[in-house]
Amino acid sequence: MSAPLSDPAAPAETRESASRERREKLWRFLSDWQAMVGLVLVVLFFASALFAPWLAPYDPNAMDIPARMSGPTWPHIAGTDQLGRDTFSRILHGGRVALYISAIGVSASLSIGLVLGMIAGYGPRWLDNLMLLMFDAVRSFPAVILALATVALTGPSLTVVLAIVILTTIPSYGRVARTATLALRHTEFILAERSLGASTPRILFQHIMPNVIGPLLILAAMEVPVVVSIEAGLSFLGIGVLPPQASWGTILNEGYLVIRDAPWMVIAGGIPLILTTLGFTFLGEALRDVFDPRMGRGR
């Protein structure tokens, strides 16, 4: 993660101790049961979402009215909904929506937060204050409230969910990037670059970014559950992913409507959500403990 710091001209001794340290970190990570459970759950999430079309026993939108609202029995292991659609297949396909939203949402808000945070940390004082004010203002909206306000104006769609996810999570990345940049700003290697006449973008992207990105990647792992929950929550309210597309939120929404007659829908729809959240939380915390023990206290 700190590759640009390892200078090829460094003495062989330092290089060797650095690689030993890396091996030790890897070993510590591999011997932590939380990290392993997290890793397995995360791999399961990716695999089930990517291969959903091949894994799902039924078409997620195929209706089978005679078999509607049948309980969790073979061949419908998680039961069927009010239209006779197979809940298990819908859950697998719903994972694709969660994966799509978290992949795009997390990478977009990480990149934007990184750039804004570096500018805030490296730029003049007034710009820093303005950025902090913006971060605070955005954070003053509880996510669901902001989503409701937006949907009132634009109508529900996947794009709105993405926009809300990106907007509400930018400040956390921005703040971390800003703090890390502030700490680097007056270090000798940055001053040296500056006196050699390097341009500001070059300093930011060539020298500061590689040193700031590590904590941000760990934060990203911890933010995935947040993003997945926002998507599921908004879809549950009917202001996110629209029916008939399957998402964990829409399954819970449809299940909530028939909760008295078909309780298995809200049970089955919730389990993948919990497993995903748990997996990324375990993984993120284990990564943080290994790479950046100091970060643990702040959050």
Site residues for other proteins per CB under 8 A: 133-134, 136-146, 148-154, 225, 229, 232-233, 236-237, 239, 252, 255-256, 259-260, 263, 266-267, 270, 273-274, 277-278, 281-282, 296-297
Angle, in degrees to the nearest 10, between helices 158-185 and 125-139: 140
In the complex, least distance from residue 92 CB atom to other proteins, rounded to whole angstroms? 19
Q: Which of 278, 262, 185 is nearest to 228 (CA)?
A: 278
| Chain-centroid distance, C-alpha 289 | 18
Cβ proximity to other proteins, 57 vs 142, nearer residue? 142
Q: How many C-beta neighbours within 10 Å does residue 32 have?
A: 17
Cα torsion 259, 262, 268, 269: sign: negative
In the complex, least distance from residue 142 CB atom to other proteins, rounded to whole angstroms? 4
Cβ proximity to other proteins, 29 vs 205, nearer residue? 29
Cβ proximity to other proteins, 62 vs 149, nearer residue? 149
Element (H, E) at 257: helix 248-257
In the complex, least distance from residue 275 CB atom to other proteins, rounded to whole angstroms? 9
Cβ proximity to other proteins, 172 vs 211, nearer residue? 172
Amino acid found at 180 = A
Cβ proximity to other proteins, 45 vs 58, nearer residue? 45
Distance separating alpha carbons of residues 170 and 254, to the nearest angstrom: 31
Distance separating alpha carbons of residues 254 and 176, to the nearest angstrom: 39
- Nearest-Å Rg of the Cα atoms of the chain is 23
In the complex, least distance from residue 270 CB atom to other proteins, rounded to whole angstroms? 5
In the complex, least distance from residue 22 CB atom to other proteins, rounded to whole angstroms? 27
